[in-house]
Amino acid sequence: MKRALLLFALLTVAMLWPQARHLATRATPHQDVYFNMWRLRWFAHALVTPGAHLFDANIFYPEQGTLALSDAMPVEGAAAAPLLWAGMRPVLVHNLMLLAAIALSGAAMFALARYLTGSRAAGVVAGIIFAFAPYRFEHIMHMEMQWTMWMPLAFLALHRTLDTGRWKYGAATGACIALQMLSSIYYGIFLATLVSLAALLLAWRDRRAPLPRVAQALGLGAVIAVAIAGVYAQPYLRIRERVGDRPLAEVSDFSARPSSYLAATPTNWLYGRSSQHSAPERRLFPGTIAVLLAIAGLLLVAPSFRTIVYLVLLLAAFETSLGFGGYSYPFLYDHVSAYRGLRALARLGVFVLMFVAILASCGYQLLLGSRSRAVRTAALAVACAALLAEYRTSVALMDFANTAPPVYRILAQQPRGVVAEFPFPRADALPGDEAEHAYMSTFHWFPLLNGYSGIYPPSYLQRLARVRDFPGDASFRELRHWGVRYVIVHESGYHSEALGRIVDRLSAEGSTELGTFYDGSGDAMLYAMR
């Protein structure tokens, strides 16, 4: 397993090159990278700050429970916290968490496929499919979407439970589901559903241990998963009471279409053109070689019951990913409350990819398992090279700040107070620069009227309407109402005439100009309000 980890670490560096060359300074040009770093740094900050409540993060002041407006990523946060406490650069920590997740996902899939097929070569093929298919690059900016190593490990623990009936494997099954929930809520809900279906099917005809022992071991796992998920769900349930379920129109927009499984991410060297008529979240193509190997696993010989189960799981994940365009999701929406909080059903595509990888490993083993060692070695080299070439994708990068620009450094030296950064975005043009403002708040940790997350609280959306006339009367009433102490005006967001009105109004309000400082991309005026 150590050699598999090393192999997938090296492959991850190669496939995401040149990111590994700029680990400490550059990442994907997307607002979610700012959001990732804010979440990791908030988690580390809250753990060691007296009086800080983990889910009561500093954005969207005065809202509470704001960390639960998106994935809190406690597993990623716990892994990153020691690095941040040691003074490691935020961008470096972010990139290490990202690349490590991809490498570990490939190694975990290797372990599952090797257990199912008895072949290391088949495990390597499955690991490459799972770690580097276009789906990975479609979500390269979404850290929680990369933490998928618990999925194959959960199925590996399930198979070991069915084969041995041991309690430790049943507990491991539940622990992996819980860890996936703590890494990505979407994936955790999907995994719990699919593992439950797999356990019912496999326990029927694909087990070696007596059914009572299997049931007891898996029951322990279920208790572990439910207990941890239940505790973790509490802040999300409180948030849900305030913001409600996902709008049905959003669910429809972010569900897959059958054609989504023929579209790759735009920067894929071979299949990039296939994305021309697809939307983000709907680029789920698993790759030609993977599909052909999976078909071979199903058609070369009479498929085993286990193979049929994985085909059923694949079809279930595919059909549910269609959202209201299928049959499974409407049933789940009506009867499983957790599904009403999900927006992007297309993310079930990662499970379609995982099951394709498993079937492909079976097909690979059927094709080459009985060949001579020399043929197997040559075939593995060719298969890996072909897969890596097929999955090769360009990775765009941009610089991200590791230290506070002067305006935030000066702000951090002031007495604690509520901060508002202008311009606020329009409600119909979110998110604007709000993700960057949230990340910059990690250098002072003052409460922030601004914010960025997967869901915007109603109070924030109402605020956008009230501050739209800045520097008008309504905006200043809003600032005074919430006790705003500091105002940052980013000059790049205004023309000169508007800046003049802002300066005049702030002076008329008795605000103190602390100076004009560089904000990372231009000048920003910093004021302390009366």
| Confidence class for position 248, pLDDT limits 50, 70, 90 | confident
Looking at the predicted structure, is the pLDDT value of residue 12 above 90?
yes
Task: Please confirm whether the linkage preceding 280 is cis (ω < 30° from 0).
Answer: no
User: Which pLDDT does position 51 carry in this prediction?
Assistant: 87
Residue pLDDT, tens place only, 157-168: 999 999 999 999
Of 356, 391, 426, the residue that ends a domain is 391
User: Which pLDDT does position 71 carry in this prediction?
Assistant: 93
For residues 430 and 364, state if they share a domain: no
Residue pLDDT, tens place only, 96-135: 999 999 999 999 999 999 999 999 999 999 999 999 999 9
Radius of gyration of the chain (CA): 25
Whole-number average pLDDT of the chain: 94
Residue pLDDT, tens place only, 304-349: 999 999 999 999 999 999 999 999 999 999 999 889 888 899 999 9
Of 391, 418, 443, the residue that ends a domain is 391
- Burial label for 413, CB within 10 Å (0-12, 13-18, 19+), is exposed
Looking at the predicted structure, is the pLDDT value of residue 276 above 80?
no
Q: Total domain count for the chain?
A: 2
Cβ within 8 Å of residue 349, ≥6 positions away: 135, 256, 260, 261, 284, 317, 321
For residues 182 and 321, state if they share a domain: yes
Model-level pTM greater than 0.85?
A: yes
Residue pLDDT, tens place only, 486-498: 999 999 999 989 9
Mean pLDDT along residues 193-204 = 96
User: Which pLDDT does position 244 carry in this prediction?
Assistant: 81
User: Within a domain: residue 52?
Assistant: no
User: How far is residue 4's CA from residue 354's CA, in Å, rounded to a whole number?
Assistant: 18
Looking at the predicted structure, is the pLDDT value of residue 149 above 90?
yes
User: Within a domain: residue 30?
Assistant: no
User: Within a domain: residue 37?
Assistant: no
For residues 418 and 459, state if they share a domain: yes
For residues 450 and 382, state if they share a domain: no
Mean pLDDT along residues 436-455 = 96
Looking at the predicted structure, is the pLDDT value of residue 275 above 90?
no
User: How far is residue 32's CA from residue 167's CA, in Å, rounded to a whole number?
Assistant: 40
At residue 26, φ and ψ (nearest 5 deg) are: -130, 150
For residues 100 and 12, state if they share a domain: yes
Looking at the predicted structure, is the pLDDT value of residue 274 above 80?
no
User: Which pLDDT does position 301 carry in this prediction?
Assistant: 80
User: Within a domain: residue 435?
Assistant: yes
Residue 207 carries which side chain, given as an amino acid letter?
Answer: R
For residues 382 and 435, state if they share a domain: no
User: Which pLDDT does position 300 carry in this prediction?
Assistant: 80
Retrieve residue 335's tokens: 């009867």
User: Within a domain: residue 114?
Assistant: yes
Of 362, 391, 420, the residue that ends a domain is 391
Residue pLDDT, tens place only, 277-303: 788 889 999 999 999 999 998 988 878
For residues 203 and 246, state if they share a domain: yes
Which residue bears the tokens 């560096």? 13
For residues 385 and 474, state if they share a domain: no
User: Within a domain: residue 178?
Assistant: yes
User: Within a domain: residue 66?
Assistant: no
Lowest mean pLDDT among 203-217, 368-382, 472-486: 368-382
DSSP 396: -
Looking at the predicted structure, is the pLDDT value of residue 401 above 90?
yes
**Span between the terminal Cα atoms of the chain, in Å:** 62
User: Which pLDDT does position 153 carry in this prediction?
Assistant: 98
For residues 446 and 384, state if they share a domain: no
For residues 418 and 295, state if they share a domain: no
User: Which pLDDT does position 368 carry in this prediction?
Assistant: 84
Residue 94: C-alpha distances to residues 20, 23, 85, 122, 275 (Å): 12, 9, 14, 31, 28
Q: Return the CATH number at 424.
A: 3.40.50
Looking at the predicted structure, is the pLDDT value of residue 369 above 80?
no
For residues 96 and 210, state if they share a domain: yes
Mean pLDDT along residues 444-453 = 96
User: How far is residue 202's CA from residue 467's CA, in Å, rounded to a whole number?
Assistant: 58
Instruction: Provide the percentage of residues in the chain whose pLDDT is more than 90.
Output: 86
For residues 230 and 131, state if they share a domain: yes
The boundaries of the domain holding residue 120 are 2-24+89-391
User: What does the DSSP assignment read for 252-298?
Assistant: HHTS--GGGGG---TTBTTTGGGGTT--TT------HHHHHHHHHHH
User: Within a domain: residue 94?
Assistant: yes
Looking at the predicted structure, is the pLDDT value of residue 250 above 90?
no
Residue pLDDT, tens place only, 39-64: 999 999 999 999 889 999 999 999 99
